[in-house]
């Protein structure tokens, strides 16, 4: 093995640059490998957009959010032509192995390419923390910190104006961000996809708080909760990406209106949106991403292909990609029970 490539796919995430930095340093210093950066995720291989990565390329990128390589939600298996161009680029640029940094969709493509004989390893990236087989994904800690700070700020205005504050957060079909940030921020109720709820019960809880003299409430809502007339997902747009996913968002507004209707209390809704994915990564995410990057290069060099670096306890290990893409990691019920202790 003489040359490896690295790409970042899917949504941007704090810590991506820390992975890139670690991959380049490990590859050059330990294994004397050349590193090619593939721009815009899988789109870079389809278009043949690559560039050499050197020490200069990674200078000063550790604290930066986003990814210096760019990213996209591109699926090279969407057509035979796109797949063939991807394979041609791998051969053309002499890429002996790929480090693929992404979530379930990006890693799903990596798994399929591995099945076609391409040496591939994965690094788990998502603020949602919904990838199985790893205790944490990098980006999650930063997102939780951002949401917890937002809850703290909204808490003071809710208390001052005697309002109900509904805070919608990301997480897709799981409630990791909502639950952990809700606990950290002292939320009075947390609504997540994994736990069915009735809005009348939420309203009753708010009215009981008011009867006890608590004239405000903080409600954290995960974007993937099912609610509304159809009791289904609320989406911003019916259009889907190349992996078939709709853009979630807007359920907080619907829930907020219903709460105001049922309680008579002034209710405001804040959708934190892309703020959760931006900015500098926390120290935890920088270290975790760095460890993942180092492990990914070791895996490629040692022939552990078709696997993903993962965190188990405090150890970085590897797991087959086919196990990772088989399901999502839902919230730990015991963790949610802890959150429930503080509801109402």
Q: Which CATH class is domain 3-128+281-324?
A: alpha beta
Q: What is the pLDDT of residue 249?
A: 76
Strand boundaries in 232-273, DSSP class E = 235-240, 246-248, 267-271
3-class secondary structure, 49: coil
Catalytic residue among 105, 128, 188, 298, which? 128
123 closest CA partner among 135, 140, 106: 106
Cα separations (Å) of 106 from 66, 75, 123?
16, 8, 10
What residue spans in the chain does CATH classification 3.40.50.460 cover? 140-277
Inter-residue contact 120 to 113 (CB < 8 Å): yes
Inter-residue contact 23 to 297 (CB < 8 Å): yes
3-class secondary structure, 112: helix
Q: What is the pLDDT of residue 56?
A: 97
What residue spans in the chain does CATH classification 3.40.50.450 cover? 3-128+281-324
Altogether, the residues listed in the chain come to a count of 344
Residue 266 DSSP code: -
Backbone angles phi, psi at 94, to 5 degrees: 65, 40
Q: What is the pLDDT of residue 235?
A: 63
As a whole number of angstroms, the distance between CA 315 and CA 246 comes to 35
Question: Residues 297, 302, 304, 309: is their CA dihedral positive or negative?
Answer: negative
13 closest CA partner among 101, 122, 74, 100: 101
Q: What is the pLDDT of residue 121?
A: 98
Order across the sheet with 50-53: list the strands.
50-53, 34-38, 3-8, 97-102, 120-124, 307-312, 315-320
106 closest CA partner among 66, 74, 83: 74
End-to-end CA distance of the chain: 59
What is the Cβ-side half-sphere exposure of residue 44, based on CA atoms within 13 angstroms? 23
Domain range 140-277, CATH architecture: 3-Layer(aba) Sandwich (3.40)
29 carries an active-site annotation: no
**Tokens read off for 312:** 């188990």
SS3 of 216-244: the string is: CEEEEEECCCCECCCCECCEEEEEECCCC
As a whole number of angstroms, the distance between CA 119 and CA 203 comes to 54
Cα separations (Å) of 74 from 42, 243, 293, 324?
6, 8, 22, 19
Neighbours of 306 (CB within 10 A): 19
Q: What is the pLDDT of residue 90?
A: 97
The tens-digit pLDDT sequence of the chain (344 residues) is 999 999 999 999 999 999 999 999 999 999 999 999 999 999 999 999 999 999 999 999 999 999 999 999 999 999 999 999 999 999 999 999 999 999 999 999 999 999 999 999 999 999 999 999 999 999 999 999 999 999 999 999 999 999 999 999 999 899 999 999 999 999 999 999 999 999 999 999 999 999 999 999 999 999 999 875 545 666 665 666 666 666 677 899 999 999 999 999 999 999 999 999 999 999 999 999 999 999 999 999 999 999 999 999 999 999 999 999 988 999 999 999 999 999 98
Helices and strands in the chain, H and E counts? 11, 13
Q: What is the pLDDT of residue 194?
A: 95
């Amino acid at each position: 093995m003489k040359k490896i490539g690295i790409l970042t796919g899917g949504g941007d995430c704090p810590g991506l640059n820390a992975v890139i930095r670690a991959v380049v340093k490990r590859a050059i210093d330990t294994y004397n490998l050349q590193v090619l950066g593939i721009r815009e995720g899988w789109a870079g291989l389809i278009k043949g957009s690559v560039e050499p990565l050197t020490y200069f390329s990674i200078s000063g990128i550790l604290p930066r959010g986003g990814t210096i390589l760019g990213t996209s939600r591109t699926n090279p298996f969407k057509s035979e032509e796109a797949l063939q161009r991807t394979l041609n680029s791998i051969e053309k640029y002499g890429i002996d192995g790929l480090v693929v940094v992404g979530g379930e969709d990006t890693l799903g493509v990596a798994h399929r390419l591995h099945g076609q004989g391409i040496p591939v390893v994965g690094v788990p990236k998502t603020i949602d923390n919904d990838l199985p087989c790893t205790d944490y994904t990098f980006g999650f800690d930063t997102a939780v910190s951002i949401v917890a700070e937002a809850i703290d700020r909204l808490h003071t205005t809710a208390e001052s104006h005697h309002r109900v504050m509904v805070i919608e957060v990301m997480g897709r079909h799981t409630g990791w961000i909502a639950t952990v940030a809700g606990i950290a921020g002292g939320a009075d109720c947390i609504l997540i996809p994994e736990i069915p709820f009735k809005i009348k019960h939420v309203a009753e809880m708010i009215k009981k708080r008011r009867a006890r003299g608590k004239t405000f409430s903080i409600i954290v809502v995960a974007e993937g909760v099912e609610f509304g007339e159809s009791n289904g997902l609320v989406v911003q747009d019916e259009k889907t990406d190349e992996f078939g996913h709709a853009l979630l968002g807007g359920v907080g507004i619907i829930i907020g209106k219903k709460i105001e209707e049922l309680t008579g209390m002034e209710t405001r809704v804040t959708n934190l949106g892309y703020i959760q994915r931006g900015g500098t990564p926390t120290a935890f995410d920088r270290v975790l991403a760095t460890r993942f990057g180092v492990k990914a290069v070791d895996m490629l060099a040692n022939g552990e292909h078709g696997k993903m670096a993962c965190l188990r306890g405090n150890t970085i290990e590897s797991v087959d990609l086919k196990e990772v893409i088989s399901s999502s990691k839902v919230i730990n019920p015991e963790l949610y029970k802890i959150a429930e202790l503080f509801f109402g």
